[in-house]
Amino acid sequence: MTYTGTFDESQAQQSVFAALIAARRRLGGKREAIIDGDERKLTYDEIVRAAFALGSALRKDTRQGENVGVMLPTGAGAVIAFFALSAYGRIPAMLNFTSGERGLKGALRTAEIKTIVTARRFIELGNLQHLIDALSPHARIVYLEDVREKLSLVDKLAGGIGPFTPWLVRAWPRHQAPAVVLFTSGTEGDPKGVVLSHGNILANVEQVRAHIELFDDDIVFNPLPTFHCFGLTVGAILPLIAGVKAVFHPTPLQAQTIAKRVRETGSTILLSTDTFISQYARAGDQGDLNSLRLAVAGAERVRDETRALVRKKYAIEILEGYGVTEAAPVVAANQLSANRPGTVGKLMANMEYRLEPVEGIAQGGRLFVRGPNIMMGYMLSDRPGEIQPTEDGWHDTGDIVSIDEDGFIAIRGRVKRFAKIGGEMVSLAVVENCASALWPDHLHAAIAIPDGRKGEQVVLLSECATANRADLVGWAQNHGVPELAVPRKIIHIEQVPLLGTGKTDYGSVIRLYEQVAGDAASAPAQAPIEESASTGETEQTVASEREVAVEEPSLPTGDAEDSEKRD
């Protein structure tokens, strides 16, 4: 085994598609690169050929520099569509199909998207026809199955000669040009478009390779959505460029299936979040995850309970990291040789940071970062299609962090995720952590609501039916946690709403609280809300994704016979 990664920023001075072509040349076109959700294995030759053929077909009704929507589950279809658009100078805009009609329409407006690439089978199995009906008046819907059936001779020739003479066929965008548009969750309004350049993505690929050891026989298992930057950059683009085989799974929600696929494919690295990896570890049979040498977790704090579970049952080490879409996305991560639980590790190479003081926070401050992986800028709904650049290259993460003398970063919470109680700042993340320590088998979400006497008060919504304030008070006293971090109210719910990325959907949590509080106020005979209130109706934004366990649609290539064989 050989270590594949050293940081080389010169590798970021090209387009993403050029980096794929270079990887194919270096590693060999016959090398297997992807194992798809239906167990199909694709080589570099097949990926590049399909990208040229599909890109040739898609360019007919689009123009260079146009943002083209991609609405597909994690798999070869999404990755090839991404590279197909990139090959011909179009900009893939990765659409979050779990964000609902409002979020998707907002994304179309913000990025001026007129065409959406998707697949009939995905829409059918995901029960997403209602979204297509809603989006059709605003954008042209292109189905991969239809493209494959209607490939012209020119498209087939592009797929045939493109891999051998790519300089004659593909576009040549500069590395500073836009490479992709990704969207924030939009829980506070219309989604923001995050525009990343080719250089941003490739710089982050090189930063991760330099930070975390990858070996040539590693196999990365990626169940995370490609509309999420972690799933796209680290889960799809990095393996292809680094020469590490990637296993794709169309949804992170099938815990038992994923555990079995990890075993069957011999995967060695799992990309996940705390919520999902905990589910996989519990659902898997003894030995299912034994091939994993590490799990890289982001998007949310990794709980001590999760670390203990996977270490005891499978001897897996979890490397917790921290990223934001605006940084393509990885900002910091732990390493096997320097893994400090409770932190998100050290900053990526060639990045710098500054901390700005926050009122009421004694230690740490608001984190700003700058580096080659920081986005070109935002697209906002008030100025559709325009890139609004960062100020002098700095990005305000909105997170409050502390950094120790060794450079390890601890996330204390988001600026918006603090409650001000009697003039003191209380981290809502700490409230959730306390609840997780007491009731580790359930999810919990803390919110701040107005309080006429103390400014704000903390409310905890918990899936644990036996969660109670008395136990939390006792736990806090025994562990030195200030009583201000104990919620005034605990509300019992059946399910904490999640986003498609696995993060808590706090917008839905707040609406759920308002619904439960309203119901309690209108029914005084019921138990007081301070003690218990339950509801079976949560706005579960990942509901549609539960059905998205799809067999990938057939992909166009320059060789019709090969396409038929893969069917």
Residue 361 tokens read as 């926070």
- So what's the pLDDT on residue 428? 79
- pLDDT tens-digit profile of 144-190? 999 888 876 766 666 656 565 665 555 677 888 999 999 986 444 67
Statement: 414-541 belongs to CATH 3.30.390.30: no
Q: Selecting from 2.60.40.180, 3.40.50.2300, 3.30.565.10, 3.40.50.12780, what CATH number does the domain 10-404+549-566 have?
A: 3.40.50.12780
Tell whether pTM > 0.85: no
DSSP labels for 33-90?
EEE-TTS-EEEHHHHHHHHHHHHHHHGGG--TT-EEEE---TTHHHHHHHHHHHHTT-
Task: With a cut of 90, say whether residue 359 has pLDDT above it.
Answer: no
Mode of pairing for the β-strands spanning 41-43 and 383-389: unpaired
Which of 163-177, 306-320, 550-564 is least confident?
550-564
Residue 414 belongs to what H/E stretch? strand 409-414
- So what's the pLDDT on residue 552? 39
- pLDDT tens-digit profile of 321-344? 999 999 999 999 999 889 998 899
- So what's the pLDDT on residue 387? 95
Contacts of 198 (CB under 8 A, 6+ apart): 12, 14, 15, 16, 173, 174, 175, 176, 177, 179
Contacts of 208 (CB under 8 A, 6+ apart): 5, 234, 238, 330, 333, 348
Task: With a cut of 50, say whether residue 564 has pLDDT above it.
Answer: no
Q: What does the mean pLDDT of the chain come to?
A: 82
- So what's the pLDDT on residue 227? 93
| Mean pLDDT confidence for 448-467 | 79
- pLDDT tens-digit profile of 84-101? 999 999 999 999 998 888
Task: With a cut of 90, say whether residue 379 has pLDDT above it.
Answer: yes
- So what's the pLDDT on residue 100? 84
In our burial notation (b when 16+ CB lie closer than 10 A, e otherwise), range 158-167 reads bbeebbeebe
- So what's the pLDDT on residue 169? 57
| Amino acid symbol at 125 | L
Task: With a cut of 50, say whether residue 495 has pLDDT above it.
Answer: yes
Mode of pairing for the β-strands spanning 91-94 and 294-297: unpaired
Judging by beta carbons within 10 Å of its beta carbon (0-12, 13-18, 19+), is residue 540 exposed, middle or buried? middle
C-alpha 119/C-alpha 552 separation (Å) is: 8
Which of 41-50, 250-259, 502-511, 519-528 is least confident?
519-528
C-alpha 144/C-alpha 164 separation (Å) is: 24
Distances (CA, A) of 96 to 19, 210, 231, 561: 26, 30, 12, 33
Q: Which residue has the higher pLDDT, 419 or 21?
A: 21
- pLDDT tens-digit profile of 271-311? 998 888 888 988 888 888 989 999 998 877 888 888 888 88
Residue 316 tokens read as 């897996």
Task: With a cut of 70, say whether residue 214 has pLDDT above it.
Answer: yes
- So what's the pLDDT on residue 394? 95
Q: Which residue has the higher pLDDT, 524 or 224?
A: 224
C-alpha 393/C-alpha 372 separation (Å) is: 9
Where do the structural domains in the chain lie, given as residue ranges? 10-404+549-566, 414-541
- So what's the pLDDT on residue 559? 40
Q: Which residue has the higher pLDDT, 447 or 224?
A: 224
Alpha-carbon Rg for the chain in angstroms:
24
- pLDDT tens-digit profile of 238-267? 999 999 999 999 999 899 999 999 999 999
Contact assessment for residue 302 and residue 274, using Cβ atoms and an 8 Å cutoff: yes
Contact assessment for residue 15 and residue 172, using Cβ atoms and an 8 Å cutoff: yes
Whose CA is closest to 222, among 237, 208, 242, 212? 237
- pLDDT tens-digit profile of 25-40? 999 999 999 999 999 9
3-state secondary structure of 498: strand
| Mean pLDDT confidence for 374-396 | 93
